[in-house]
Structure 1
Amino acid sequence: MKIGIGYRTLKTALGATLAIATAQFFDLQFYASAGILTILCVKESRKRSLVNAWERMLSCVLGLGIAALLFTIIGYYPITVGIVILTMIPLLLQLKAEEGLVTSVVVILHLYTLEKITPSIIFNEILIVIIGIGFALIMNLYMPNNEKTLVSYRNQIEANFQLIFKEFSRFLREGDMNWDGREITETSQLLVTARRLAMTEVENRLQLDEDFYVRYFHMRQKQFAVIERVMGIISRLDRTCTQGQTIAQFLDELGDAIHPGNTAPHYLKELEAMREQFRDSPLPTSRREFETRAALYQFVHEIRQYLIIKKNLTPPTSPTKSF
């Protein structure tokens, strides 16, 4: 198995090293804890790092205050540590800062180890927290631009959509279902990965108006759900019916038109014309023809949903992004 070192790993290692070195330079007690705080605070995005830093800073201040009070009243016993933690957990949950619990326990244990509380010790702990969290935030100032990766995911997903439509068309023309459906599984995985990366990119930029890729991949995910339903409908269509050839031609054109641009209005008009054509066809005279006609109308309905989903996607606000 190939194991690589990513940029986040490098940032974490460098940040921890600098945090420990800085805390040691200022001759702080428990200086190694600054490195632990840095490791805990380096996250996948700037937004998550900022939120995490706030949670840990808040939990440390609360931890110092509660620990100082209870150690003074009860004494430096293991049971006191347990009481402090039991007091901290509901407070942090209420403040939605539960991720800071580990950080607060670190400073609480420092007080427990020293068995005394003085202004200099409190100042020492606060400095350790500031240094540790500070270097984590500095490390997260650099975030790679994932634009090229997102474009690559977009191209792969669109290429798979095209192949899927081609396979649908081939089945209607030739009745051949010698297709392993690999693109279906692959597209499902690509959409999950792409949406996660798009969310991280938005959190890195900290600009809510730059969420085009989040909306784009969400749109494709909804379209993909329609495609999965269409696959079941097409399998029920009678290949010998004349409408099947019309649908095959339409799917060929629709597949060729899959790209970041919005051609949905044009194909919605074509689909409406096709629906009118189906409506004017002779009434079914057998059960098989009736089932085929029902499947045709269901197909038109699903493809209409597919096109409306794309039509409703608003273009990116940034002129640098293609649409």
Structure 2
Amino acid sequence: MKPWIFQAAKMVIGALLAILIADLLNLTYSVTSGIIVILSIQPTKQQSIRIGVKRIIASTLGLAITIGLMLLLGYTLPVFILSLLIFIPLAFIFKIEDGIVVSSVLMSHILAQSDWMLGINALYILWIGVVIAILLNLFMPNKSAAIEAEIHAIDEALRDLIVEIGSRGSVNFGPILKLIDEATHTIRNESMNKLLPKRNLNISYVTMRKEQVSYLQMIETDLKRVSVTEYKQDILNFIQTFAPRIGKANMASLLMIQLNQLRDTFKEKPLPLNRQEFEERAILFHILFDLEAFLLAKVRFHEVELIQ
């Protein structure tokens, strides 16, 4: 089921429940409780709770201001506008601006009925709507399988990139960066659906892959600046050995050993004979450092993984 269908269903069911409960309690403006449910159901559990709490605080403040002013100055439109002029800036100051719209609607009930007791009625309506929204948002689809699929797609795309770079083919980094952004969004939403979130290794993994892609971009750019020589070919051959070793297993440590061996081999080669050879050799050594950084990113991830 698509996320928006699940969320829409919760909105409809929640609104119906809230209205029925409000009607059973003989509350005025019972439909408002259903609207509050619709506004309070968010894509994640944490968002729903945070916005619900802010709306309760904001509405309590707004209703208190409105009741106080109308008892003193009367149930008139200018007094209602005055209460908004006081309440809205305070909502921004106290960072509860998410509750401004709902609070304003509830405050208007007092004006419409010219009765401060509608403030108590409004609080009942608010609590019914917010509590039902939070309870329904405790039920969220598990995205673990989707996250695993997205991570697998990133690893596959990374393998393809490495093959393309190693074979001196045309390289397009756009698709893998899009996959990484989509996976990051999914993982963060899933994390926000946990009431007691802990460090998420999936986000660390995807962040590591994004870091590796940035190194590959620099490596690919530098390789284009160097003419084809045995040194460049040695690096290209080494890069191609990465492809079958891309995955969750820790293969980076072994590749680090091979990289150091390749670096030692370069050091034993004859010195450059002219300026062009010197400049190209310098670029190639810089590529080796970027390859080291590429591998170290994976090594560091596994160190974090062991701590968890």
- What TM-score do you get using the length of structure 1 for normalisation? 0.89
Shift of 1:130: 0.9
Match of 1:277 among 249, 265, 282: 265
SS in 2 for 1:312: helix
Question: By how many angstroms is 1:291 displaced?
Answer: 2.6
Instruction: Give the conservation status (yes or no) of the 8 Å contact 1:210–1:317.
Output: no
Paired position in structure 2 for 1:321: none
Aligned residue type for 2:214: A
Question: Does the Cα contact within 8 Å between 2:107 and 2:119 map onto a contact in 1?
Answer: no
Counterpart position of 2:58: 59
* Conserved? CA contact 2:106–2:119, under 8 Å: no
- Please list, as runs of the form range in 1=range in 2, the aligned pairs for 1:233-272 lying within 5 A after superposition: 233-239=222-228, 241-272=229-260
In structure 2, which of residues 298, 305, 308 is the aligned counterpart of residue 315 of structure 1? Answer: 305
Residues 1:306 and 2:305 are matched in the alignment? no
How far has the Cα of 1:206 moved from its partner? 2.6
State which of 122, 125, 129 in structure 1 corresponds to 2:122: 125
Given that 1:209 and 1:317 are in contact with CA atoms closer than 8 Å, whether structure 2 keeps it comes out as no
SS in 2 for 1:209: coil
Task: Name the structure 2 match of 1:141.
Answer: 138
What are the Cα deviations for residues 161-182 of structure 1, in whole angstroms up to 9, with x where unaligned?
00000011111xxxxx4x362x
What's the offset of the Cα at 1:229? 1.6
In the TM superposition, residue 317 of structure 1 has moved relative to its aligned partner by 7.7
The offset of 1:7, in angstroms, is 0.8
- Find the counterpart in structure 2 of residue 27 from structure 1: 26
Distance in 1 between the 2:235 and 2:175 partners? 25
For residues 104 and 306 of structure 2, the distance between their equivalents in structure 1, rounded to whole angstroms, comes to: 45
Tell me the TM-score normalised to structure 2 length: 0.93
- How many positions carry a matched residue from both structures? 305
Aligned partner of 2:182 in structure 1 is 193
- Structure 1 residue 316: Cα displacement: 7.4
CA distance in 2, matches of 1:274, 1:86: 71
Kept after mapping to 2: 8 A contact 1:212/1:316: no
Secondary structure at the aligned position of 1:143 is classed as coil
1:216 equivalent to 2:205? Answer yes
| Partner amino acid, structure 2, of 1:64 | L
Any idea what the Cα deviations from partners look like across 1:241-288, whole Å, max 9, x if unmatched? 111221122111112111012222221222122222222222222333
Q: Deviations over 1:135-191 (max 9, x none)?
A: 1012111111101110111011000100000011111xxxxx4x362xx21111111
Structure 1 CA distance, aligned partners of 2:254 and 2:70? Answer: 73
Report the Cα distance in structure 2 between the residues aligned to 1:108 and 1:210, rounded to whole angstroms. 42
Offset of residue 25 of structure 1: 2.4
Q: How does 1:36-75 map to 2 (within 5 A)?
A: 36-75=35-74
Give 2:217's aligned amino acid: E
* Deviation at residue 115 of structure 1 after TM alignment: 1.8
Superposed displacement of residue 4, structure 1: 9.2
Secondary structure, in 3 states, of the residue corresponding to 2:8?
Answer: helix
For residues 168-183 of structure 1, the aligned pairs below 5 Å read: 168-171=165-168, 177=169, 179=170, 181=172
Distance 2:27 2:306 in 1: 50
Distance 1:123 1:114 in 2: 13
Kindly report the root-mean-square deviation, in angstroms, between the aligned alpha carbons of the 2 structures: 1.9
Alignment-derived partner of residue 85 in structure 1: 84
CA displacement at 1:210 relative to structure 2 = 4.9
Query: For residues 197 and 5 of structure 1, do their structure 2 counterparts lie closer, same or farther at Cα, with a shift above 3 Å needed?
Result: closer
CA shift, 1:295, in A, is 1.5
| In structure 2, C-alpha distance between the alignment counterparts of 1:306 and 1:8, rounded to whole Å | 40
Consecutive unaligned residues of structure 1, counting only runs of 5 or more, are 172-176, 319-323
Name the CA distance, whole Å, in 1 between partners of 2:124 and 2:68: 20
Distance 2:8 2:95 in 1: 27
Q: Which moved more, 1:192-201 or 1:69-78?
A: 69-78
What secondary structure is seen at the aligned counterpart in 1 of 2:48? helix
1:292 correspondence with 2:280: yes
Determine the C-alpha separation between the residues in 2 that align with 1:264 and 1:41. Answer: 46
Separation of aligned partners in 2, 1:146 and 1:270 = 38
CA contact (8 A) 1:210 1:316 kept: no
